[in-house]
Every structure is written in C-alpha cells, then in structure tokens.
Chain A
Amino acid sequence: MTFTVYPAVDIADGKCVRLLQGRFGTETVYSDDPVKVAIGLSKAGARWLHIVDLDGAKTGVSANREMVLEVVARASCPVQAGGGLRGIDDVVEVLAAGANRAVLGTTALEDPAELRRACGRFGERIAVSLDARGDELTSHGWTVGAGVPLLDAVRIFADAGAARFIYTDVVRDGTMSGPNLHGLSRLAAETTLPVIASGGVGNLAELRAVAGLHGTGVEGVIVGRALYEGKFTVIEAVRAGDEASSGERAAAPPPEH
C-alpha cells in the first residue's frame, strides 16, 4: 500500500475555506465554488479527496450536503466525506451517493453503540476522527472539548470496530507550522489500525516527514492550506509522499489532463 496524500476541501456556508486551528470565524475563503475546486484537485492528480461540511460538523445539520454529494458524483478519484454525519442514516446517504469512505467524529464520541453499528455494517468504509487538542478529544467541529483522553478514545473506537483513524492536531491545523510528528508517532505506536495524519503541513519537507512514518502505520496525510497557498502542487505532494514512503524516487510521469 502506498502513502496517500488527501487534498482537503472544507465547505462553510457554501464556500471553500480553511479555518485557523479549527476556529469558526477565522476562515480564509479560497473559492465560492467548492465543487469546482474539488474537481480541479482530482484532475490535478489527487488519488483521494477529503471533503468536509464544516457547518454540518459544528451543528449536525448538513447545510452543505448537496455540494458534498456533487463532488462525490463528479470527482475522478475516490472521496472520503465527513462533517455532520451524525448516524447510520447520514452514512448511508453519502455512501449510497458514491462516497468511498464516511468519516465519523462527534457520533463516535457521543454514541459508541451507533459507531459499532456503522462499523459492523460498513467496515472499511468508515474512518473515525480523532480531533485532539493536546491529549484531549474535541467534538462538534472541534468547538467542544469532549473531556475524553485521546488514547482512551483510541481503545474505545478500535473496540467498536473502527477500520482506521484520522488524527488531527487541532492546534496545528491551518497554521502551516509543521505537523505534530511526536503525537503522530505516539498514536501510531498505540494502535495497530492505519492512521491518516492531518494538520500543520506547510511544505514538502514536512509532508515527507509524515510520509517517513509510513512504516509505523501512518498511511496518509491530509493537506489543505499549503495547497491553496501554492506551497506545493497536488502532483508534487503525491510524488513526495510516494518517494518518502518507499525510500526511492518515483519514476512515474505526471498525469496529463
């Protein structure tokens, strides 16, 4: 399995945005057309997309679901979708529309029985968010401190049947100040499940550092602001991930579109 770079498309109020440390009200708007942005990223060589309904994540009301489903239908690569999926019905809706993976966060924390049902039914198609502020998990689009220690949650979610984790260091997210490699390594050592890292990657060297943990169970990284700010391109990120995780230089030519 190769290391996967997930370009992120976060949608708030119908716009493509990045937040700073997950705080609502700090958003930088990158486009009024998130669907176009997402399709562009898939055409630029992304092997997966990570798409989030931020309003849904915060309130549980799927304000941007239509846009998420439009991306799912039109992207030329697989898509993992999250934000505001608050139970099996929501998971069914996005998977039936063609999403390749559904991401649960708040639901996992508030309703472990529902998480267990979702994982039992959809297995590999479920990823569970570990949105951590330090050692504590947050919920509701990171607006609420859940009072659950990160490593306790890892055990509870794994026990419920989670197939993989998405670990976000909320303090780093949107800052391009470097990923939390220490926290990531500690988490990867704590679980046998694959971990996708998120938050803080600001340049290719930092992306390579995350990819270098591939052998410990870190199977991918989510990148947002650095892509939007032009710190690197999608194809540069994909190649850097391939090279750093395999220890050799990739020979594949860039995709032509």
Chain B
Amino acid sequence: MLDYGMGNLRSVAKALEAAGADVVVTSSSAELDRSVALCVPGQGIFGRCMANLAAAEQDDLIRGWIDDQRPYLGICLGMQILFDSSEEQRGGASCTGLSIFPGVVRRLRGDVRIPHMGWNEVNDEHYYFDHSYAVRPRDDSLVSGWCWHGERFAASIRSGSVTAVQFHPEKSATAGLTLLSDWTAALEEAAV
C-alpha cells in the first residue's frame, strides 16, 4: 500500500489483512516493487495528492505499474487520480491527473447534500461513500458499477489489471469485505 501522506491508511490496511492479504504500508519504491499488487487509498484534495505523488516521483511509479499490467486497487482518490484532470483545485495546486484513462473528475451536480457521505447502492449492494467529486470516464465501458447522488456517477471501474472504487470498501461491512476478498483471491490465483 502506497503511503504518500494523504490521510490515515490504517483502516484500509486492516481491512485488506482481514481479506487475507499480507500488507506493507510504505513509500519506498523498492519495497513496492517487491509486492504482488499495489493499493492506493487516499482522502483529501486531488491537487495536493498529485503534488505529493510528483514530489516523490510516485506518479511515474503508478504509471509504470499499470503499464506493466500489475494489479492495482484504487480507493477514492486512488481512483480519481487515474484520470486526466479534476475540477478540485483548492490552494492553487495542480489539478492534472495521471491520464491512465481518458476522462475528468467533476464535482457532483444536482440538488443534493455535498459531500455525499453515507451508504448508497451499487449493483444491488450497499457501500459507504465519502466524497464531493466523482469520475466521468470518456469511455463508459470502463465502469463496472454506477451510483446515483444528484446525478449518475461511476462508483467503480475495471480495466486490465486495474480495479478502482469511489466508495470505501473498508467501511462497507460485508459487501466491502467481499470485494476486498475477491480482489486478494484473484491475486493468489494469478500467482499460482
């Protein structure tokens, strides 16, 4: 799990451990390179997140990781940064993303409470959300789960070795644990 100074990663680490993974939380490229899979959680402001990644040259690390088809799990900001740009630019920080997938991150529209904080439905399951911005991929076929809050937005995407979710599986009870367990089980299968 990539530690890039964006909030507390302990909940996600604990949840992945409960899902059967051996988790190392680190900012060391060498240590990450020894791992089977990369998880990038993250909460906070998109621009600051990208600035932190760039300062540690971890933006290239993530690009290279996904280029090499290695398993990637993005949670919340870890999903948003995969796209071209975000509207969120408090403090004047950069709002350019990693451009792994074409599309933008937009503030949720509609006459609803922002942030979108609480349980909501994706593919007949309920997950816990906490965000004000959401991904709008140019290619809808990336999207594996849609959700509704004021407008339809991408709650999860899957493409190649990338799985990414806007919600917080670590706080989504059984549904979240199932998602994480399925992800770690697939890693094990691939390793056999």
Residue from A73, A78, A125, A255 within 8 A of B10 (CB atoms): A73
User: Is there an interface contact between A2 and B14, defined as CB atoms closer than 8 Å?
Assistant: no
Residue from A2, A76, A100 within 8 A of B176 (CB atoms): A76
User: Is there an interface contact between B174 and A100, defined as CB atoms closer than 8 Å?
Assistant: no
The verdict on A77 contacting chain B, using a C-beta distance below 8 Å, is yes
B-contacting residues, A1-31, CB 8 Å: 1-2
A46 to B128, CA, bound (A): 12
Residue from A1, A46, A96, A123 within 8 A of B8 (CB atoms): A96
**Looking across the interface, which residue of chain A has its beta carbon closest to that of B8?**
A98
**Looking across the interface, which residue of chain B has its beta carbon closest to that of A96?**
B8
Proximity string of chain A (239-257) to chain B, C-beta cutoff 8 Å, 1 when within and 0 when not: 0000000000000000111
Number of interface residues of B (CB under 8 A): 22
The verdict on A45 contacting chain B, using a C-beta distance below 8 Å, is yes
User: Is there an interface contact between B115 and A77, defined as CB atoms closer than 8 Å?
Assistant: no
A100 to B171, CA, bound (A): 10
Residue from A76, A123, A256 within 8 A of B171 (CB atoms): A76
A239 to B15, CA, bound (A): 25
User: Is there an interface contact between A74 and B14, defined as CB atoms closer than 8 Å?
Assistant: yes
User: Is there an interface contact between B119 and A47, defined as CB atoms closer than 8 Å?
Assistant: yes
The verdict on B7 contacting chain A, using a C-beta distance below 8 Å, is yes
User: Is there an interface contact between A256 and B173, defined as CB atoms closer than 8 Å?
Assistant: no
**Looking across the interface, which residue of chain B has its beta carbon closest to that of A124?**
B117
Residue from B8, B15, B115, B118 within 8 A of A76 (CB atoms): B15
Proximity string of chain A (51-91) to chain B, C-beta cutoff 8 Å, 1 when within and 0 when not: 00000000000000000000011111110000000000000
A-contacting residues, B8-55, CB 8 Å: 8, 10-11, 14-15, 18
The verdict on A156 contacting chain B, using a C-beta distance below 8 Å, is no
User: Is there an interface contact between A42 and B173, defined as CB atoms closer than 8 Å?
Assistant: yes
Q: How far is the CB of A99 from chain B (nearest CB, A)?
A: 10
Residue from B11, B115, B126 within 8 A of A72 (CB atoms): B11
Q: A2, A46, A72, A78 — which one has the most chain B CB atoms within 10 A of its CB?
A: A78
User: Is there an interface contact between A73 and B173, defined as CB atoms closer than 8 Å?
Assistant: no
The verdict on B170 contacting chain A, using a C-beta distance below 8 Å, is yes
A-B contacts, CB under 8 A, total: 52
A231 to B177, CA, bound (A): 28
Given A124-B113, A255-B173, A257-B174, 9 extra CB contacts under 8 A: A2-B119, A42-B173, A46-B173, A73-B10, A74-B11, A100-B117, A100-B128, A124-B117, A255-B174
The verdict on B130 contacting chain A, using a C-beta distance below 8 Å, is yes
A125 to B18, CA, bound (A): 27
- A sample of 8 inter-chain contacts (CB < 8 A) reads A2-B119, A47-B173, A73-B11, A77-B128, A97-B8, A100-B171, A255-B173, A257-B174
**Looking across the interface, which residue of chain B has its beta carbon closest to that of A97?**
B8
**Inter-chain contacts of B15 with A (CB < 8 A):** 76
A73 to B118, CA, bound (A): 18
A1 to B149, CA, bound (A): 11
User: Is there an interface contact between A98 and B117, defined as CB atoms closer than 8 Å?
Assistant: no
Q: How far is the CB of B166 from chain A (nearest CB, A)?
A: 15
Q: How far is the CB of B7 from chain A (nearest CB, A)?
A: 7
User: Is there an interface contact between B173 and A76, defined as CB atoms closer than 8 Å?
Assistant: yes
Residue from A2, A98, A124 within 8 A of B115 (CB atoms): A124
User: Is there an interface contact between B119 and A96, defined as CB atoms closer than 8 Å?
Assistant: no
